[in-house]
Amino acid sequence: MGILNVTPDSFSDGGQFDSVTSAVHAAVSMVAKGANIIDVGGESTRPGAERISLETECERVIPVVEALSAQGIYVSIDTTRSEVAKAAVAAGARMVNDVSGGLADPHMFEVVAGLGVPIILMHWRGPSRTMQENIHYEDVLTEVCSELQTQAKAAHSAGIERGNIILDPGIGFGKEAEHNWVLLRSIDALLEIGYPLLVGVSRKRFLGSLLADLDGTPRDVRSRDIASAVLAAHVLQRGAWGVRVHDVEAATDAYKALCAINPDPAIDSIELLGLREFGYHGVLEHERINGQFFNVDATLGLSISHAAHTDDLADTVNYAEVADTIRARIAGDPVDLIEKLAELIAADCLTFPQVAFAKIRVHKPDAPIEGEFADVIVTRAKFIDP
């Protein structure tokens, strides 16, 4: 998840993307470097930040959401206001990221349930202006897990599908450095709550303290990307659904390097084999007119340990829904290349919050090739991590 703050006062990139053009350019660049989701925010949530008006927030984010969505970019709206969430989804956003975990706006859960989109619920103990003033935990891990579970249950009770709920431990929000480190060492425990996990550590203050100069001066915000990338790669391999980062390229590189050493991250898989549907994809005219059958094998990477424990469909991906999505893509708008079809199917599979990677094999058994052959197969692997 690439961070795109269209604000004048965010702690790291405030004022950097002060026009729709500059924001779109930055988002396109992040996607090219590996971001699957662009998180657009119009109100700073840095410690001490003051609230802005609803009108100002909408004026900042809606034109950017519209422009990115028009380019086919998967957009998340970073807001604590249900009115902004509703307007952003109408403009093309496909996910809501609420750093208050639904606590700032009593209508958020009801609105998101009606919209039918995923929501990220972050652990939160108060607004930006005061969140660092009274930090006290007896046991930060136990309390964060309990409070996240409470909000997840409230969201589900309000009508949000369990599969559309993603949790975020709120690193740096209402926490001291030692609290952040405890949570980062406890990814397994956070995953045991039973929901996909998003983690955001990018450029945060506790990293500035960790990397301080000999005289104790904290490391400059923009010089924290290496440490941010290392932590992002680590939590992804521990099984986190995603990471929220400023420097997508650094996080991508770190994760690739870690996977080269340990190619088996903490993740399980489900396979859907032999899905068959009729479509009109192909370069040749008769393929577009007459059509042909396409077969798909899909391997979906996700944690299934919690579902194995609870025996509850809500704790895993509904593979019938995934199969319907794949078939709809094959039967949908035609594309020239089987490679493009494989890419689109992989991207569709990653819209399910539980799915961390999708390996797609598209079979074209009736491809227009002279001579005898059994099949033409294209394989595409796509990850939700940066």
Select from 309, 190, 300 the least CA-distant residue to 238.
Answer: 190
Number of domains composing the chain: 2
Domain shared by 243 and 313, yes or no: no
Give catalytic status of residue 125 as yes or no: no
Rounded Cα–Cα distance for residues 137 and 140 (Å): 5
Domain shared by 75 and 212, yes or no: yes
Domain shared by 289 and 150, yes or no: no
Q: Is 299 helix (H, G, I), strand (E, B) or coil?
A: strand
Spot the catalytic one: 46, 204, 327, 380: 204
Domain shared by 355 and 339, yes or no: yes
Rounded Cα–Cα distance for residues 341 and 359 (Å): 13
Q: Render pLDDT for 329-370 as a digit per residue (tens, 0 to 9).
A: 999 999 999 999 999 999 999 888 878 788 999 999 999 998
Q: Render pLDDT for 34-81 as a digit per residue (tens, 0 to 9).
A: 999 999 999 987 766 677 899 999 999 999 999 999 999 999 999 999
Total-model pTM: 0.69
DSSP string, 346-380: HHHHTTSTT-SEEEEEEE-TT---SS--S--EEEE
Give catalytic status of residue 204 as yes or no: yes
Q: Is 104 helix (H, G, I), strand (E, B) or coil?
A: coil
Domain shared by 256 and 323, yes or no: no
Range of the domain at 163: 2-261
Instruction: Kindly state the DSSP code that residue 162 receives in the 8-state scheme.
Output: G
Domain shared by 124 and 255, yes or no: yes
Spot the catalytic one: 60, 86, 244, 327: 244
**211, 238, 261 — which closes off a domain?**
261
Mean pLDDT per 10-residue segment, the chain (386 residues)? 82 60 93 94 78 91 96 95 97 97 96 97 83 83 95 96 93 93 92 90 91 89 91 90 94 89 69 95 95 95 73 85 96 96 93 85 92 89 61
